[in-house]
Amino acid sequence: MTASARKTFARLLVALAGVALLASCNKAPEFKNLDITGNTQFGSDFSLPDTSGKTRTLADFKGRAVVLFFGYTHCPDVCPTTLAELSQALQQLGDDGKRVQVLMVTVDPARDTPELLGQYVSAFNASYIGLRPAGDAQLVKVAKDFRVYYAKAPGKTPGDYTMDHTAASYVFDPQGKLRLFARDGQGVQTWVHDLKLLLD
């Protein structure tokens, strides 16, 4: 992660810490990830095409917890780890796992064609859905709405680059309310614990 990315992420965590402090004063479910219930600094919905071209919004997944993750198919570490952990969590949840929808928004639509993105997410779990912004403006908007940082990190050739991006997920409850900010690397059991609370 670049210095700029670290500074952006640090500012985001400071804002979230304030929300967590307020939330701790209330008798709410004790999530292991950061509870951001009621935080108006983040988007409350999205409207993005999936890999078949169908426009998706939160309303499509009413009755399910939604995990919104930003990443890209060429990601060397964070993305595959997060998607694999979530898949294991869904398996451990049993039938409740069917009430969770994982969505990955690509921050690299230039390389992540609909076909490639669809193959990538389904390789982790057949239920996953990839969302691909139709253009730069749509990507900028959804990233701004959810305060997601992303930037191209040049490689040895023009096509050989990586993307610095916010390494976290946003979790909505079955009623469509934003509830959690989940940093990467929390582990499978943290996902299982928090998703169970949201689904109860």
Which CATH number belongs to the domain containing residue 21 in this structure?
3.40.30.10
Could you report the per-residue pLDDT of 138-179, keeping only the tens digit for each? 999 999 999 999 999 998 888 899 999 999 999 999 999 999
pLDDT score of 166: 95
Q: Which residues span the domain enclosing 46?
A: 3-199
**pLDDT class for 38, splitting at 50, 70, 90?**
very high
Binding-site sequence positions for Cu cation: 75, 79, 165
> Which of 63, 44, 60 has its CA nearest to residue 52?
60
**Is the predicted pLDDT of residue 1 greater than 90, yes or no?**
no
Work out how many domains the chain is built from and give that number.
Answer: 1
Output Rg (C-alpha) for the chain, integer angstroms: 16
Strands (E), the chain: 34-35, 48-49, 55-56, 65-71, 100-106, 129-131, 150-153, 162-165, 168-172, 178-183
Q: Is the pLDDT of residue 25 over 60?
A: no
Cα angle 110, 111, 112 (rounded to 5 degrees) comes to: 100
pLDDT digits (tens, 9 = 90+) for 108-133: 999 999 999 999 999 999 999 999 99
Q: Are 164 and 5 in contact (CB under 8 A)?
A: yes
pLDDT score at 66: 99
The whole-model pTM stands at 0.85
| Binding site listing | 75, 79, 165
